[in-house]
Amino acid sequence: MNASGVHCTNLDELDALLNEGVGAVVTKSCTLEYRVGNPEPRYATIPYGSINSMGLPNNGIKYYIDFIEKNQAETDKLIMLSVAGLSKTENLELLAIANQSAAIKIIELNLSCPNIPGKPQTGYDFDATESLLNEAFAICKKPIAVKLPPYFDMAHFEAMAEVLNKFPLAYVCCVNSIGNGMWIDTATESTVIKPKNGFGGIGGLFIKPTALANVRMFYKLLNNIDVVGCGGVQTGQDAFEHILCGASMVQIGTTLWEEGKTCFERISNELAEIMNVKGYNSINDFKGKLNEI
């Protein structure tokens, strides 16, 4: 499936994704109202990946609910609504609105956008995450998943897993971009994106080791919660590695941005070829079965 934020902001992009070889679709993380997002340039292709500071440009929740209401009954692909309120109150309002639409089957609550000036990522505040999830599950009776930032310390993996294990989450997506990195163009002696003085989320192959580590740790620490892998998936081999670490599904972000929607078929075919060579018939034959030497 796509990673939220890529190829999923406007109807033409979403319609095109539904007609492509994706297993599921997630919409651009939305707010209550339309947002223009951060000033451009706000995405740059860099060696080994990307840097972005989009700033949640989106068409407002109603636009995405309308899309799901129009399409979910007609497709066998699950369409996830991604929400990213700029405050706890906004997140709860978004969930309350989503809860009212019968067409919405699952909501991905984005706790990890690093690109809003002055707004820290909720996923790095364990108490705030627990408090939000407590109220979210009280307000919203739909399946709720979370999109997490990457963690880098064993104590943080454990602290977050302890919070997440208290809730019946549909899945946990690991990881959003590595927040607040920087890339420099030496020729112009300049940052390559404009928002936040050049600081932005790093995605793509760069972050595969961090993504794999997060998938692996949460796969081991969570009780009965699926992990969705995201980060550095360029090839079927990358998808295979995510699944080996424990991912039940794989999201594609930077590669989708760079290559376009045909990447799904290519990556699926490459994964199928690896499985074929290894004699695996289903992802359950190798999911989570990483050899730890």
The catalytic residue positions are: 113
Report, in Å, the least distance between residue 238 CB and ligand SIN. Answer: 20
Structure tokens at 274: 């690896």
Closer by beta carbon to ligand SIN, 58 or else 287: 58
Given a contact cutoff of 8 angstroms between Cβ atoms, the answer to whether 59 and 263 are in contact is no
Q: Which stretch binds ligand SIN (CB under 6 A): 52-60, 94-102, 225-233, 260-268?
A: 52-60
Q: Which stretch binds ligand SIN (CB under 6 A): 7-15, 95-103, 108-116, 166-174?
A: 108-116
Rounded Cα gap, residues 43 and 53, in angstroms: 6
Q: Which stretch binds ligand SIN (CB under 6 A): 51-59, 125-133, 162-170, 211-219?
A: 51-59
Smallest Cα–Cα separation from 28: which of 71, 74, 88, 68? 68
176 binds ligand SIN (CB under 6 A): yes
Closer by beta carbon to ligand SIN, 111 or else 249: 111
Structure tokens at 165: 């294990």
Q: CA of 277: how far to CAs of 238, 246, 271, 274, 281, in Å? A: 16, 20, 10, 5, 10
Structure tokens at 209: 């080791």
* CB-neighbour burial class of residue 255 (10 A; exposed 0-12, middle 13-18, buried 19+): buried
Query: x-or-dash pattern for ligand SIN, window 238-277, by CB under 6 A?
Result: ----------------------------------------
31 binds ligand SIN (CB under 6 A): no
Rounded Cα gap, residues 130 and 161, in angstroms: 11
Of 9, 50, 91, 110, the one binding ligand SIN by CB under 6 A: 110
Report, in Å, the least distance between residue 67 CB and ligand SIN. Answer: 18
29 binds ligand SIN (CB under 6 A): yes
Query: x-or-dash pattern for ligand SIN, window 112-131, by CB under 6 A?
Result: xx-x----------------
**Contact residues: ligand SIN, CB under 6 A:** 5, 29, 53-56, 110, 112-113, 115, 176-177, 201
